[in-house]
């Protein structure tokens, strides 16, 4: 009988055109499936909890797949890591119930967005943060509270979003300063296309003093994507954790720059 396996992943989004399999572009899913197929000795197809965009990083992505060939859990980790590039790593593997699906079994996703307060470029910081002038993190935090709860996020979803509904439930949102970083931390049951990056871009306008804090609530009520301006760049965004009821999977870690700051 086929076994269902869940994997915990981290990856450098800058090395890929996104999570989702694509015909002529490198993707995390394609590289992972190629390695898993070698370890399993049969073609493998995966399901990812979050379909991250090109340039978006992950420390807590979860994927699931079926296999007809039994392997020790450690073999899935070590075998895949020996076959993939330095940009992706399997952190853990767990046997799960046959009906487990990394995407549809999830009850929440948590993302962190990092703004780096710095006037100069940094070869180590720029690929993993959004370089910014000074931001008022407290003003951003207060404005962000308008996004809590189940609401219509039409103003914060990208054109071309294929979701049937723009409604999502934001369960937690916080903005804080850590060393030279401003950290946006958001958890929801799910996200519409580019929702976190659009929120990050809008909150940055509040943090720079270009918009009043009440503007976030006004944008939400207006249901008009054109109001909020540019989407924040992908390289500041991290998928850090996916929640599943009763699974007890290892938690995703903070982004490395944030961990280095002592949080």
CB-based contact 96:113 (threshold 8 Å): no
Calpha distance 185→196 (Å, rounded): 10
Q: 120 vs 40, 70, 116, 126, CA distance in Å? A: 47, 51, 10, 10
**Which entry of 12, 41, 53, 97 is annotated as an active-site residue?**
53
174 is catalytic: no
Q: Write out the DSSP string of 64-127.
A: EEEESS---HHHHHHHHHHHS-TTEEEEEEEEE-TT--TTTT--EEEEEEEEEE-SS--TTTGG
Rounded Cα gap, residues 132 and 116, in angstroms: 6
| Backbone angles phi and psi of 107, in degrees to 5 | -110, -10
In 3D, which of 229, 173, 179 has the Cα closest to residue 204? 229
Angle formed at CA 185 by CA 19 and CA 159, multiple of 5 degrees: 50
List C-alpha distances in Å: 83 to 38, 57, 64, 207: 9, 20, 18, 43
**What is the C-alpha to C-alpha distance for residues 172 and 148, in angstroms, rounded to an integer?**
7
What 8-state DSSP symbol labels residue 12? -
- The residues annotated as belonging to the active site are 53
């Amino acid at each position: 009988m086929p076994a269902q396996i869940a994997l915990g992943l981290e990856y450098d989004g800058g090395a890929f055109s996104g999570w989702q399999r694509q015909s002529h572009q490198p993707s995390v899913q394609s590289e992972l499936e190629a390695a898993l197929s070698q370890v399993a000795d049969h073609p493998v197809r995966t399901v990812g909890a979050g379909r991250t965009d090109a340039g978006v990083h992950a420390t807590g992505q979860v994927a699931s797949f079926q296999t007809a060939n039994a392997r020790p859990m450690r073999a899935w980790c070590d075998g895949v890591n020996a076959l993939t590039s330095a940009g992706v790593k399997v952190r853990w593997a767990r046997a799960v119930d046959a009906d487990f699906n990394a995407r549809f079994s999830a009850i929440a996703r948590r993302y962190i967005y990092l703004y780096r307060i710095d006037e100069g470029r940094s070869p180590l910081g720029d690929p993993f943060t959004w370089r910014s002038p000074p931001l008022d993190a407290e003003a951003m935090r207060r404005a962000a509270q308008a996004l809590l709860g189940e609401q219509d996020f039409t103003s914060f979803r990208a054109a071309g979003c294929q979701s049937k509904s723009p409604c999502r439930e934001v369960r937690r949102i916080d903005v804080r300063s850590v060393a030279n970083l401003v950290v946006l931390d958001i958890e929801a049951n799910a996200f519409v296309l580019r929702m976190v990056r659009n929120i990050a871009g809008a909150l940055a306008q509040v943090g720079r003093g270009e918009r009043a804090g009440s503007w976030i609530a006004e944008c939400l009520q207006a249901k008009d994507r054109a109001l909020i301006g540019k989407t924040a760049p992908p390289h500041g965004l991290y998928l850090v954790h996916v929640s599943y009821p009763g699974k007890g999977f290892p938690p995703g870690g903070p982004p490395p720059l944030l961990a280095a700051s002592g949080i």
